[in-house]
Structure 1
Amino acid sequence: MQFGYSEACLEHETGERHPETADRLRAIRRSLKHKHHVEYTDAPAATPEDVRAVHDGSYVLELEDFCEDGGGNWDRDTVASEGTWEAALQSAGLARWAAREAIEGASGRETPFSLGRPPGHHAVARKAMGFCFFNNAAVAAQSLLDDDTVERVAIFDWDVHHGNGTQDIFYDSGSVFYGSIHEEGIYPGSGEVEETGTGDGEGSTLNAPLPAGAGDADYLHVIDDALDPALGAYDPDLVIVSAGFDAHEHDPISRHRVTTEGYALMTDRLRDIADASDAALAFVLEGGYGLDTLSDGVSMVHETFDGRDPIPCENGPDESTVEITDELRSKLGIE
């Protein structure tokens, strides 16, 4: 794969006890050091105008002033420093680079993966939250929509937390399909099956809130039986994976049980889904807070594109997952 990476993203300082640290990117780089076919690109940062395409202008100015004054606690969980402003613009720029590389033909071993921080999927139009300041995947998608490069984008979010920001930004848009598998009942508390979009976006949101303990077979069942047919009908030009790795069985802040091999299986499935729609495919880093599990997960995505065949999952999904998936199919009109 080719990875978007910038040293500027290390300058977002969150303090010693915060789980979202620069060590996350350092761990990923160490893990990828001896892998084949790894390339790095330091893409241009997004501009304030770029992020205003999905964020309220007054919020963008407020965040810039907040960082210039030295930062601090934006809220209980979301910490900024003086370097956060440039890091957030850079993270959004890397996501935009990944999406554009994909749509211009980068695939196979050249498939782009944006390694930016701070992450983005919790950032809503008018505020930062959940460690996120600018919604990187949303900026990437909207930039291609605005210049008429694409007509429809699908964003699939496998982070263990629901991407409330991405959903909120595109909830009434028919131009972006948002799908998420996440843990039921944890932060931020959104992402119910009943949330399917409004207006032009009706039917363009898919949420699978799975109970604690969900693992590989559960994620794959939702992907195969709900996401695949939904995206087949939607026919996107580009699929962006909001790739968080905190659903891993050993991540310190979740109760889902996805294995490292599970990320290979999901990557393989998403590649097949994109190919079936002749869609470009790009990955954008979100969460993942165990350094080993995060770096192993990113490495596994890379190795899948480098030719490694995933080991099939021998287990079946939990009954609750089957019920949720059946409900999703009904809500979205999937036959």
Structure 2
Amino acid sequence: MRKVIPMSSTLLLTDPLFFQHDPGQGHPESPSRLRRILGVLASTPVKGTVMTAPRSATEAELASVHTPELLAYLQRINGHRAQIDPDTQVSPDSVDAARLAAGASVQAVEAVMKGEARNGFALVRPPGHHAEPDKAMGFCLYNNAAIAAEAGRKLGAERVLVLDWDVHHGNGTQAAFWSRRDVMYQSVHQFPYFPGTGAAPEVGVGAGEGYTINVGLPGGNSDADYGMIFEELLLPVAEAYRPQLILVSAGFDSHQHDPIGGMDVSERGFAAMCSAMKSLADSVCQGRLVLLLEGGYSLEGLSQSVHACVEVLAGRKDSFPTGDTHADAKDALRASREAMRPYWPRV
């Protein structure tokens, strides 16, 4: 029997199958990431949330983003251990877990588009934003955000915004919508850094020119720096775009204690970013906001930041801290604004 979800609730989607994706001993994208998140949510529950198990993505949903060749390859390695690239290993249950992660992302979108939940957070692994239409890479098999955006389009959202705050640029999501304007991709990330994409001049092509926005930061940047970038560029463009659905590729490897990232963001900084997106969603698209878990490898930083964002989804408001911003962040913002000004003159 399907669980009844109050319309005023924040929907959290997860499943024990996600623990079965095991890239191997010492790999940073380990099952302990999700275990710690769920442990914190269990020990400090957030009122107004409902947790439920997701369904797997359908072949058609996967094929809305990925090529037949990639889908066939992943099916061939399903049930086996395999090394896709130096960073990306799979265990026997990994492909099924990835398909469930994509399905959870779609299910969260369905719930908010149909008014069955206020907003949602897909607590999934493996992550997805590095998976390109024709290639699995960077810990990612299927691109959860891109598949979810396509689902939103099919459910009637004429314009979808994907905001990516992971420390790594989401090359796969950018590639999926590079020449389209029905899905806007915005990313704030460390640059230059893996995977090497995400420079300010990368703005899209053809019909999509001006609908990809990249802000690449050099590292060591703070909550205040992120606040400046949101308030002076990302939010004004998003408000002008007026999306009918907002997705967040919510990676938490920009946290100040993350062993892979090089940023200085706190859990309250992530809460402020989430609060900004929630306010935007409330203003332009009836609150239709879905977060999708991407990276984050400090167990404490990850779990506390996810919990802070869940509190925001359930009703708490957070603001970016006031304080000094770094000169290099101002330089990065200036470069991105110059790249966007031909398309969005008011920035």
TM range (shorter): over 0.9
- How many residues were matched structurally? 331
Kindly indicate whether the alpha-carbon contact (under 8 Å) linking 2:109 and 2:151 is maintained by their aligned counterparts in 1.
Answer: no
Q: Provide the C-alpha distance between the structure 2 equivalents of 1:8 and 1:306, rounded to a whole number of angstroms.
A: 26
Q: Quote the residue 1:209 is aligned against.
A: 216
* 1:261-300 Cα distance to aligned partner (Å, 9 max, x none): 1011111111122223235111000000111111001000
RMSD of aligned C-alpha atoms? Answer: 1.4
TM-score (norm 2): 0.92
Alignment pair present for 1:36 and 2:46: yes
Sort the Cα spacing of 1:220 and 1:170 in 2 relative to 1 into closer, same or farther, 3 A.
same
Structure 2, gaps ≥5 residues long: 1-9
Kindly indicate whether the alpha-carbon contact (under 8 Å) linking 2:152 and 2:245 is maintained by their aligned counterparts in 1.
Answer: no
Secondary structure class of the residue paired with 1:127: coil
Moved more, 117-126 or 8-17: 8-17
Moved more, 44-53 or 132-141: 44-53
Q: Quote the residue 2:148 is aligned against.
A: 140
Sort the Cα spacing of 1:312 and 1:125 in 2 relative to 1 into closer, same or farther, 3 A.
closer
Q: CA deviation at 1:106?
A: 5.3
Structure 1, gaps ≥5 residues long: none
Secondary structure class of the residue paired with 1:74: strand
Q: CA deviation at 1:311?
A: 5.8
Kindly indicate whether the alpha-carbon contact (under 8 Å) linking 2:78 and 2:96 is maintained by their aligned counterparts in 1.
Answer: no
1:46-65 aligned at under 5 Å gives the runs 46-65=57-76
Kindly indicate whether the alpha-carbon contact (under 8 Å) linking 2:129 and 2:294 is maintained by their aligned counterparts in 1.
Answer: yes
Letter of the 1:237 counterpart: Q
Q: Provide the C-alpha distance between the structure 2 equivalents of 1:311 and 1:63, rounded to a whole number of angstroms.
A: 42
Letter of the 1:143 counterpart: A
Q: Provide the C-alpha distance between the structure 2 equivalents of 1:104 and 1:42, rounded to a whole number of angstroms.
A: 18
Kindly indicate whether the alpha-carbon contact (under 8 Å) linking 2:255 and 2:267 is maintained by their aligned counterparts in 1.
Answer: yes
* 1:17-72 Cα distance to aligned partner (Å, 9 max, x none): 1011111111111000122323211121102221111000111011110123x122
Sort the Cα spacing of 1:222 and 1:185 in 2 relative to 1 into closer, same or farther, 3 A.
same
Q: Quote the residue 1:6 is aligned against.
A: 15
Q: Quote the residue 2:332 is aligned against.
A: 324
Q: Quote the residue 1:294 is aligned against.
A: 302
Sort the Cα spacing of 1:106 and 1:292 in 2 relative to 1 into closer, same or farther, 3 A.
farther
Secondary structure class of the residue paired with 1:117: coil
Moved more, 36-45 or 289-298: 36-45
Q: Quote the residue 1:83 is aligned against.
A: 93
Q: CA deviation at 1:328?
A: 2.0
Q: Quote the residue 1:18 is aligned against.
A: 27
Q: Provide the C-alpha distance between the structure 1 equivalents of 2:275 and 2:319, rounded to a whole number of angstroms.
A: 11
Q: Provide the C-alpha distance between the structure 2 equivalents of 1:233 and 1:141, rounded to a whole number of angstroms.
A: 19
Sort the Cα spacing of 1:168 and 1:311 in 2 relative to 1 into closer, same or farther, 3 A.
closer
Kindly indicate whether the alpha-carbon contact (under 8 Å) linking 1:48 and 1:89 is maintained by their aligned counterparts in 2.
Answer: no
Q: CA deviation at 1:326?
A: 2.6
Q: Provide the C-alpha distance between the structure 2 equivalents of 1:283 and 1:106, rounded to a whole number of angstroms.
A: 16
Q: CA deviation at 1:232?
A: 1.4
Q: Provide the C-alpha distance between the structure 2 equivalents of 1:36 and 1:274, rounded to a whole number of angstroms.
A: 21
Q: Quote the residue 1:240 is aligned against.
A: 247
Letter of the 1:43 counterpart: P
Moved more, 152-161 or 32-41: 32-41
Q: CA deviation at 1:312?
A: 4.8
Q: Quote the residue 1:114 is aligned against.
A: 122
Kindly indicate whether the alpha-carbon contact (under 8 Å) linking 2:46 and 2:310 is maintained by their aligned counterparts in 1.
Answer: no
Kindly indicate whether the alpha-carbon contact (under 8 Å) linking 1:98 and 1:284 is maintained by their aligned counterparts in 2.
Answer: no
Letter of the 2:162 counterpart: I
Q: Quote the residue 2:132 is aligned against.
A: 124
Q: CA deviation at 1:13?
A: 1.4
Alignment pair present for 1:67 and 2:75: no
Q: Provide the C-alpha distance between the structure 1 equivalents of 2:205 and 2:319, rounded to a whole number of angstroms.
A: 39
Sort the Cα spacing of 1:142 and 1:306 in 2 relative to 1 into closer, same or farther, 3 A.
closer
Q: Quote the residue 2:225 is aligned against.
A: 218
Q: Provide the C-alpha distance between the structure 1 equivalents of 2:73 and 2:93, rounded to a whole number of angstroms.
A: 15
Q: Provide the C-alpha distance between the structure 2 equivalents of 1:286 and 1:305, rounded to a whole number of angstroms.
A: 17
* 1:219-241 Cα distance to aligned partner (Å, 9 max, x none): 11111111111111211100101
Kindly indicate whether the alpha-carbon contact (under 8 Å) linking 2:224 and 2:320 is maintained by their aligned counterparts in 1.
Answer: no
Q: Quote the residue 2:266 is aligned against.
A: 259
Secondary structure class of the residue paired with 2:137: coil
TM-score (norm 1): 0.95
Q: CA deviation at 1:2?
A: 2.1
Q: CA deviation at 1:185?
A: 1.5
Q: Provide the C-alpha distance between the structure 1 equivalents of 2:116 and 2:308, rounded to a whole number of angstroms.
A: 19
